[in-house]
């Protein structure tokens, strides 16, 4: 996504979209017809807040945690600071973490809304399948279709850009030929 935003290059974005389409269909086919036992997690506002804070940290560090390790190894001082404070943050969080939080307390396992924990209940393909009686692969097909539409929009934009570039090249060749003929 970084290359798409900064450099207007969608090569990696297209590959990521194709991988997401393949994995989405594979996973939802497995959920619908496989024999595996899925893990269920509560998804709520706490995850949104955590993801938002992690995203801010990634922007400030200029990389995600793995890339920060690599940049630190390359001698990037800013990445070394980011890595140091990642460890400090993990240590401080471990001081407030309690056995009461994991596994989730029984009150959060009832399936009812738990506003104290800012949980919104289950939100995954297996639960949608159980709740509506529609196979999870149906929801996977919807997600795959949306991903394909994004992929197709990127491809069309690239093709239009290539056609515009080709048209300009032909016009400049015609101008040069006309100048030589005159």
pLDDT digits (tens, 9 = 90+) for 32-44: 887 656 656 556 6
pLDDT > 60? residue 120: no
CA dihedral sign of residues 44, 149, 147, 10? negative
Q: Look at residue 97 and give its three-state secondary structure.
A: coil
For residues 150 and 139, what is the distance between their CA atoms, to the nearest angstrom? Answer: 17
Q: What is the pTM of this model?
A: 0.55
Which residues sit opposite 119 in a β-bridge?
Answer: 44, 114
Mean pLDDT of the chain: 77
**Planar angle of CA 8, 9, 11, nearest 5 degrees:** 155
Weakest mean pLDDT among 27-41, 56-70, 130-144 = 27-41
Mean of the pLDDT values across residues 16-45?
79
24 vs 27, 29, 81, 129, 143, CA distance in Å? 5, 8, 37, 15, 8
Nearest residue to 126 (alpha-carbon basis) of 110, 108, 138, 117: 138
Q: Look at residue 119 and give its three-state secondary structure.
A: strand
* pLDDT given for residue 36 in this prediction: 57
Mean of the pLDDT values across residues 129-145?
85
27 vs 31, 109, 145, 149, CA distance in Å? 6, 24, 15, 20
* pLDDT given for residue 119 in this prediction: 47
Mean of the pLDDT values across residues 115-129?
54
pLDDT in tens, 139-169: 899 999 999 999 999 999 989 988 888 887 7
User: Using the 8-state DSSP alphabet, how is residue 44 labeled?
Assistant: E
Instruction: Say how many residues make up the chain.
Output: 182
Helical pair 136-181 and 11-33, crossing angle rounded to 10 deg: 160
Q: How confident is the model at residue 91 (pLDDT cuts 50, 70, 90)?
A: confident
* pLDDT given for residue 68 in this prediction: 86
Residues 6+ apart with CB under 8 A from 163: none
pLDDT in tens, 103-119: 555 555 566 655 555 54
* pLDDT given for residue 166 in this prediction: 80
Residues of the chain above pLDDT 90, percent = 14
């Amino acid at each position: 996504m970084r290359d798409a935003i900064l450099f207007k290059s969608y090569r990696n974005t297209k590959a990521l979209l194709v991988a997401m389409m393949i994995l989405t269909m594979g996973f939802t086919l497995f959920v619908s017809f496989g024999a595996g036992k899925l893990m269920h997690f509560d998804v709520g506002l706490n995850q949104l807040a955590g993801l938002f804070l992690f995203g801010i940290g990634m922007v400030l560090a200029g990389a995600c945690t793995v890339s920060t390790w690599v940049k630190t190894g390359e001698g990037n001082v800013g990445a070394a600071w980011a890595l140091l404070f990642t460890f400090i943050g993990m240590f401080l969080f471990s001081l407030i973490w309690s056995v009461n939080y994991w596994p989730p307390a029984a009150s959060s396992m009832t399936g009812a809304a738990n506003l104290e924990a800012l949980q919104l209940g289950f939100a995954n393909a297996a639960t949608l399948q159980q709740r509506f009686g529609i196979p999870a692969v149906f929801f996977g097909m919807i997600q795959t279709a949306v991903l394909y539409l994004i992929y197709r929009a990127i491809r069309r934009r690239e093709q239009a850009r290539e056609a515009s570039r080709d048209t300009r090249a032909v016009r400049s060749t015609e101008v040069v030929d006309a100048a030589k003929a005159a």
